[in-house]
Amino acid sequence: MIPLIAGNWKMNLMTEEAAAYASELSNRYQKEQEKKCDVLLCPSFISIPTVRDNLSDDLYLGAQNCHSASAGAYTGDISCGMLKDVGCQYVILGHSERRSAYGEGNSSIKDKALAAISAGLNVIICVGETSEERNLGETLARISEQIKGSIPEKLTSWELTIAYEPVWAIGTGLTPTFDEIAEAHSTIRTCLAETVESASEVRILYGGSMNPQNAHDILSVENVNGGLIGGASLKLDDFWSIYACAKDLC
């Protein structure tokens, strides 16, 4: 399976910085002899056109959220058709920051996923437990419930990517043990088999304090098919080092 290294810039980088980053990433990627690893950037909505204009065609572009309706009176929102129109191929859905700060639940994430797929976007659905849930021994139950509740039925492997992002690991410098990551990813794979065609081919990314120092070991864990990187994606050299780890493991 070709791994995916995805940068979730969240609410960071001004358009000028975004343009310079996308253009330098494209320069580096163009020089790669073999393209063994897919690379995706998910800038803020406002930087998407700038990144698109500076990104080479073999790199992927995505958004961090979308609305489930195709159009209408939804002040401040963006439809999947608009994302597709502006050049996105991916959209991240159900990130824990949206689940917690905006009250997004499984059923609204599922509605957004259906809308995104019918607009021709690939979806990256995020799941992950809080530290309380982990301490209560509820990690696997929590991520199973999120997978079952937020993924539409009968998807194919190319439409769907999952990101396992333990909430307590995001932006904290903390990460689960490799065994814990393996257990979570294997549980996700098993749950996917109930709803997705060719579940063994769905990419399951790890996200949460991935950095150039730990990327090689995390990306070596079974069923880890890439990374969704926040903080370390803001510096191109760090993001590129993580990409290099993924590529070397292919």
Q: Give the shortest CB-153-to-ligand 13P separation in angstroms.
A: 25
Among 104, 129, 159, 165, which one carries the catalytic annotation?
165
Minimum separation from the CB atom of position 46 to ligand 13P (A): 18
Number of residues that bind ligand 13P (CB under 6 A): 14
With CB under 6 A as the contact rule, the residue among 67, 95, 98, 110 that binds ligand 13P is 95
From residue 62, how far is each of 28, 33, 40, 130, 189 by CA, in Å? 20, 24, 7, 26, 24
Measured from the Cβ of residue 28, the count of other Cβ atoms closer than 10 Å reads 15
Is residue 17 part of the annotated active site? The answer reads no
Give the CA distances from residue 134 to residues 86, 119, 139, 180, 190, in Å, rounded to whole numbers and listed in that order. Answer: 39, 36, 5, 11, 20
- Least distance (Å) from ligand 13P to the CB of residue 14? 19
Q: Please tell me whether residue 8 binds ligand 13P under the rule CB under 6 A.
A: yes
Going by the DSSP 8-state scheme, the letter that residue 231 receives in this structure is G
The whole-angstrom separation of Cα 186 and Cα 189 is 5
User: Does 232 interact with ligand 13P (rule: CB under 6 A)?
Assistant: yes
- Tell me: does residue 51 bind ligand 13P (CB under 6 A): no
Whether 67 is catalytic is no
Question: Would you count residue 208 as binding ligand 13P (CB under 6 A)?
Answer: yes
- Residues numbered 156 to 175 that lie near ligand 13P (CB under 6 A) are 165, 170-171
Residues with Cβ < 8 Å from 191, sequence gap 6 or more? 143, 144, 147, 148
Q: How far apart are CA 138 and CA 208, in angstroms?
A: 18
Alpha carbons 193 and 191: distance in angstroms, whole number = 5
Any contact of residue 65 with ligand 13P (CB under 6 A)?
Answer: no
Asked if 56 contacts 26 with a C-beta cutoff of 8 angstroms, the reply is yes
Are 232 and 211 within 8 A, CB to CB? Answer: yes
- Catalytic: which of 67, 95, 104, 185? 95
Stretch that binds ligand 13P, among 130-138, 181-189, 224-232, 240-248 (CB under 6 A): 224-232
146 forms part of the interface with ligand 13P (CB under 6 A): no
User: Which residues form the interface with ligand 13P (CB under 6 A)?
Assistant: 8, 95, 165, 170-171, 207-210, 228-232
Active site residues: 95, 165
